[in-house]
């Protein structure tokens, strides 16, 4: 018989039986010839000789169980895992509740076994110390300095710059007031009930659909603002001034098409159009 520990006592952590789709409880059967993925059967399906596709009832198999000792002859691997899960659930030192959750060991047995094998065990202590030292070295070496962000700026609330930025809150990446800020008001009195007539039900569905379209428009406008860098308006205006005056006028005229093109594509469109319309001016500006 081949023994293999299952690392959790929760049956939901194991794949279901391939025969009846029930959750597996130890002991269960693993086909030694069908893998991967592992072909697992409960004892009932195994004794019935369940076969499926390439799996045959005469295949060699393993009995999956954790009913064997690991650290102490009187403790099975299943009980070891149950103890660790109980300490995690109930807290270290709460041995009475740990024993109640385990149900197979007393309070004193749980405390004595845990302290002996998981706290005062020199092997585990040295391993934990090594992991701690390694983690400290990694944290020290990976430390990255961060500086205050200036783009977008973070003005104080109700300042002039905050109003210029339409109440944008950089920490939340959102605005104090949304576009179409009262769109949700149309839904406040809507309640779907079973005795609604078909006409009333359809009307309520239409109101919800309209609300969804308003949300899409809100998100579309946010995306345009984000993609084109319009939150920091002053920086956007400075970037526009890098062009000659005639190109700035062209940029202003063609601004309406920016929402159709992406930011990079729109700049390329303006510059290529300016090169064609003002070749001499563009060449002089490039110098």
CB 22 within 8 A of CB 8: no
Burial of 264 (0-12, 13-18, 19+ CB in 10 A): exposed
The C-alpha angle with vertex 46 and arms to 44 and 47, in degrees rounded to 5, equals 70
State how far the Cα of 244 lies from the Cα of 284, in Å rounded to an integer.
10
Q: Which range has the worst mean pLDDT, 6-15, 124-133, 155-164, 260-269?
A: 6-15
The CA-to-CA distance between both ends of the chain, in Å, stands at 84
Q: Which range has the worst mean pLDDT, 62-76, 85-99, 226-240, 243-257?
A: 226-240
Tokens representing 223 are 């995306």
Q: Which residues pair with 64 in a beta bridge?
A: 28
Q: Which range has the worst mean pLDDT, 108-112, 142-146, 200-204?
A: 142-146
63-83 pLDDT, tens digit per residue, is: 888 778 878 888 888 888 889
CB atoms within 10 A of CB 24: 21
How confident is the model at residue 12, as a pLDDT? 47
Q: What is the mean pLDDT of the chain?
A: 78
Tokens representing 125 are 């202590």
Distance of CA 65 to the CA centre of its chain: 34
Q: What are phi and psi of 64, to 5 degrees?
A: -90, 115
* Residues sharing a CB contact under 8 Å with residue 241, sequence separation 6 or more, in sequence order: 248
pTM for the full model?
Answer: 0.41
CATH topology of domain 69-124: Arc Repressor Mutant, subunit A (1.10.10)
3-class secondary-structure state, position 30: strand
168-219 pLDDT, tens digit per residue, is: 877 777 888 888 888 888 888 888 888 888 898 899 999 999 999 999 998 8
The fraction of the chain above a pLDDT of 90, given in percent, is 8
22 DSSP 8-state letter: P
Closest listed residue to residue 44, CA positions, set 58, 59, 67, 24:
24
State how far the Cα of 93 lies from the Cα of 114, in Å rounded to an integer.
10
Helix boundaries (H) for 157-277: 160-164, 198-227, 233-240, 245-253, 263-277
State how far the Cα of 24 lies from the Cα of 16, in Å rounded to an integer.
6
């Amino acid at each position: 018989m081949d023994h293999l520990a299952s690392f959790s006592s929760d049956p939901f952590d194991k794949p279901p039986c391939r025969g009846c789709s029930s959750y597996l409880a130890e002991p269960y059967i693993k086909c030694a010839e069908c893998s991967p993925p592992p072909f697992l059967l409960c004892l009932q399906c195994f004794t019935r000789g369940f076969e499926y596709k390439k799996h045959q009832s005469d295949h060699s198999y393993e009995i999956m169980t954790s009913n064997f000792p690991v650290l102490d002859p009187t403790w099975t691997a299943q009980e070891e895992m149950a103890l660790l899960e109980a300490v995690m659930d109930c807290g270290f030192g709460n041995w009475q509740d740990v024993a109640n959750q385990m149900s197979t060991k007393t309070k004193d047995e749980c405390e004595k076994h845990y302290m002996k094998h998981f706290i005062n065990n020199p092997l585990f202590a040295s391993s934990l110390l090594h992991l701690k030292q390694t983690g400290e070295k990694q944290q020290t070496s990976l430390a990255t300095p961060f500086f205050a962000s200036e783009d977008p700026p973070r003005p104080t609330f109700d300042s002039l710059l905050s109003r210029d930025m339409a109440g944008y809150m950089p920490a939340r990446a959102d605005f104090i007031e949304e576009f179409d800020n009262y769109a949700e008001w149309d839904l406040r009195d809507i309640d779907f009930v079973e005795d609604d007539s078909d006409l009333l039900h359809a009307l309520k569905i239409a109101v919800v659909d309209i609300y969804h379209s308003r949300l899409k428009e809100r998100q579309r406008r946010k995306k345009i603002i984000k993609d084109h860098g319009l939150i920091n308006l002053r920086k956007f205006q400075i970037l526009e001034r890098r062009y000659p005056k005639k190109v700035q006028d062209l940029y202003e005229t063609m601004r309406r098409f920016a929402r159709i093109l992406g930011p990079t594509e729109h700049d390329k469109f303006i510059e290529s159009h300016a090169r064609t319309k003002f070749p001499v001016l563009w060449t002089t500006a490039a110098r």
